[in-house]
Amino acid sequence: MKYVLDASVAVRWVLPTPQRAKALKLRTEHRQQIHELIAPSHFTGEIASALTKAERQKLVAVGEARRLTSDIHNSAPDLYPYEALLWRAIDISSQTRSSLYDCLYVALAEREGCPMVTANEKLLRNLQRTFPFIISLASLP
């Protein structure tokens, strides 16, 4: 199965968060080529931002963000240039009043005709009704 992978799922590969087991299962199945994972190219920056925030929140030691980002990068989804998605993402963001960064994932899933998997509850609440191809990590087997 091909999925657009939201950064919120990949962060769960390295942080002790709810649904970590499901996120790790998805990564393992990606490594086994059961699933194809894709994401917009801003994915790595979003991961690094989340992990430096985890340092500030004392969820991980200061300096760990670099190593954890590298760990995620080693299993990263195939990255698609976000510039090609930007105009559609702007339209979605304007219409739904959602984060442009979230809408880049939505635009990629829409373009590729595949589900987008996320652990971001706010994103689900704001966008899933309009874009039913957005699925919760929790809903995966």
What pLDDT, on the 0 to 100 scale, is given for residue 127? Answer: 97
What pLDDT, on the 0 to 100 scale, is given for residue 84? Answer: 97
Q: Is the distance from CB of 23 to CB of 10 less than 8 angstroms?
A: yes
Question: pTM for the complete prediction?
Answer: 0.94
Q: Is the distance from CB of 106 to CB of 131 less than 8 angstroms?
A: yes
What pLDDT, on the 0 to 100 scale, is given for residue 47? Answer: 97
- Cα–Cα dist 42/28, whole Å: 23
Which amino acid would we find at residue 16?
P
pLDDT < 70 stretches in the chain? none
In the chain the domains, ranked by start, together with CATH numbers, are: 2-139 (3.40.50.1010)
What pLDDT, on the 0 to 100 scale, is given for residue 128? Answer: 96
The DSSP line for 59-119 is SS-TTHHHHHHHHHHHTPPEEE-GGGGHHHHHHHHHHHT--HHHHHHHHHHHHHT--EEE-
Q: Which residues of 21-58 are buried (b: 16+ CB within 10 A; e: fewer)?
A: ebbebbbeebeeeebebbbbebbbebbbbbbbebbeee
87 burial via Cβ count (<10 Å: 0-12, 13-18, 19+): exposed
Q: Is the distance from CB of 131 to CB of 110 less than 8 angstroms?
A: yes
